[in-house]
Structure 1
Amino acid sequence: MSDKKLSKRKRKFPTGVLYLLPALVLFSVFLFYPMFKTLYLSFFLTDTKGDPVFFNGIQNYVEIFQSKEFLLSLKASILFVLYTVIPTIIISLFLAVLANEKLRGSQFFRVAFSSTLGVSSAAAAVIWLFLFDPSIGFVNNMLGVFGIQGIGWVTDKSWALFSVSVTTIWMHLGFNFIILLGGLQSIPEDLYESSKIDGAGFLQQFRNITIPMLSPTLFFVIVVAVINAFQSFGQIDIMTKGGPAGATNLIVYSIYQDAFVNNYVGSASAQAMVLFFIILLFTLLQFKYGERKVHYQ
């Protein structure tokens, strides 16, 4: 690179920094500072106000990994991710493919399928609490029609995590549907027309055209879905409050309990850092192994 070009870039550098300064300030205040503060507090015992009073080293981390409650919440979190991410992607993809077909009334179904995007986690939790109500809930009433005994969906530890997972799947369908539908509509139509001339059926087109061309969108949706699943909180707090018997006590809810109910801010900070590295690990693994199967045009 010539000295003239290098000098020109140096002159433009302060201008670039000024353009980025508002974003850097926001990230520093709302992302970087809280993250480093959490890391700092994770090495201390704290008072009821959350102020550090005694340096505890890595003892907070040792104690949480020796805690049966934390290990149970870790197991519940991983199960919750498995219960929600895979069904959400499959159902969203099915609805997106259906809505992408040139059928009468497809506009109505696009609006209907994406409507959950406008529903908050609190509203969704209340709706599904009524549906899962053991006495007047629609789900148990339908089971009664077929002679099946009602289930304590949010009070039975065998069903509570499943019930919250169903609520979460319903909540996330709208976002995933919109993203996948946008990806489907970006696939060139002439690819399908050429395959029809060659005699390819719907399943062959779906396997050999739709999935490869949609793979970048699917990869994005899967990464975001995994992160969102690990961070789920609202529906847990309203529907089960981590119960029964810790069956739905996900790591995020455990952090909330320790930090704002039990005032163990140091332990909560250590759990938050563990959750951060778990999400980071899952994301890196997806980029390392999942991105290999992504077909970029």
Structure 2
Amino acid sequence: MTRRGPSRVSSHAHGRSHGRARRDWGLAAALLAPSLSILGVFVLYPLGRAILLGRQRCDPSGDNCRTNGWHQYVDVFRSREFQQAFGVTFRFALMTVPIGLVLGVALAVLVDKQLRGMGAFRTIFSSTVATSVAVASLMWFFLLEPSVGVLADWIGGTAKNPGLLHSEGTALWAVAVSSIWANLGFTFIVVTAGLQGIPADLYESAYVDGASGWMRFSNVTFPMLGPTLLFASVVLTGRAFQSYGEFDLLTGGGPNGSTTSLTYLIYGNNSLIKNDQGLQSASAVLLFIVLLALALLQIRGVEKRVHYGN
């Protein structure tokens, strides 16, 4: 009886493994094809198209366009309009993100008790997550507009004349309040889920050691909520920099450009560059770069201080 040599056996096994690997790659490509197609059509192609359009400059009517080259991105970034819009957007994020996080954590901790009636409060606090930006903005418009607003009559002063939405000093704060209210349900739900993932024995150990309520929150709850708060802060920052509906429906970028954010500069009807696709595309690409840098800064800068419970 003849035996197969080691080289023939190893080559046969290698051929079978190579064939199996090719079949696996084919199956993987078939499964990934739909997702890659959607990603390419709706994300990669628009991004590449915007990058190329950002090199163009059009006349005020938007008809005659010429290519200015890549240095146009530098010119747009240095322009007074972009710098002003970036400043408005940055201040808007500073107003909405910290306050939204504090309110979301406070409400979530408040209802994280096994008491009667807490289910109703959870439903009320999380209800804003089902409210669209348009509905929330129109609701706050009817509350703050001096001619029809209930809050304007009740507050008086600047709220009545010229109105919180028509004063340069209060318009951005008024838009920020509507955004905080609209995003509060999201923050509340995320933080509530994070609280439910904290082991109960940690609280029991702290209670046995004589820790007060504040000490249990600062030494147990807050550190264990680190990953949740990091996620919420990244999402809220992205939402703040991409907010458009609030500015469009409440102030239209005014008064005097005090609420012209980056997104309103790009898409707004009252924007100075509304007819120039090149400047709009360049501003959109720069906004994408700013958001990417902020997300990386938040993740890299805060992640080292986040406790993941392992």
Shared fold per TM-score greater than 0.5: yes
1:230 equivalent in alignment to 2:235: no
Write out per-residue CA displacement over residues 138-194 of structure 1, whole angstroms, 9 at most, x where no aligned residue: 2233324xx887351110011100000000000000011111101101111111112
Q: How far apart, in 1, do the equivalents of 2:45 and 2:173 lie?
A: 36
* AA in 2 matched with 1:150: K
1:280 is matched with which residue? Answer: 292
Report matched runs for 1:135-150 at 5 Å.
135-144=147-156, 150=160
Q: CA deviation at 1:46?
A: 4.7
1:60 Cα deviation from its structure 2 partner: 2.9
For residue 43 of structure 1, what is the aligned residue in structure 2?
55
- Whether the 8 Å contact between 1:155 and 1:244 is mirrored in structure 2 is yes
Distance in 2 between residues matched to 1:94 and 1:231, nearest whole Å? 25
Question: What CA distance in whole angstroms lies between the structure 1 residues aligned with 2:106 and 2:169?
Answer: 29
Identical aligned pairs, as a percentage?
39
Gaps of 5+ in 1: none
Q: Are 1:196 and 2:216 matched, yes or no?
A: no
Tell me whether 1:28 sits opposite 2:31 in the alignment: no
State the distance in 1 between where 2:31 and 2:272 align: 38
CA distance in 2 between counterparts of 1:48 and 1:76 reads 25
Counterpart among 167, 174, 183 of residue 163 in structure 1 = 174
TM-score by length of structure 1 reads 0.91
CA gap 1:229/1:20 in 2 versus in 1, 3 angstroms: same
Partner amino acid, structure 1, of 2:124: A
The 8 Å contact of residues 252 and 268 in structure 2, kept in 1 or not, is answered as: no
- What is the deviation of 1:137? 2.0
| Correspondence for 2:130 among 90, 106, 118 | 118
Aligned CA distance change for structure 1 residues 67 and 149 (closer, same or farther; 3 Å): closer
What is the CA RMSD across the aligned residues, in angstroms? 2.4
Letter in 1 for 2:264: Y
Q: Residues 187 and 213 of structure 1 are in contact (CA less than 8 Å); yes or no, is this contact kept in structure 2?
A: yes
Contact 2:143 2:149 in 1 (8 A): yes
- Please point out which of 125, 146, 163 is paired with 1:134: 146
Q: Which of the two has higher C-alpha Rg?
A: 2
CA contact (8 A) 1:41 1:52 kept: no
CA distance in 1, matches of 2:24, 2:272: 47
Paired AA for residue 39 in structure 2: F
1:72 aligns with 2:84: yes
> How has the CA–CA distance of structure 1 residues 55 and 232 changed in structure 2, closer, same or farther, with 3 Å as cutoff?
same
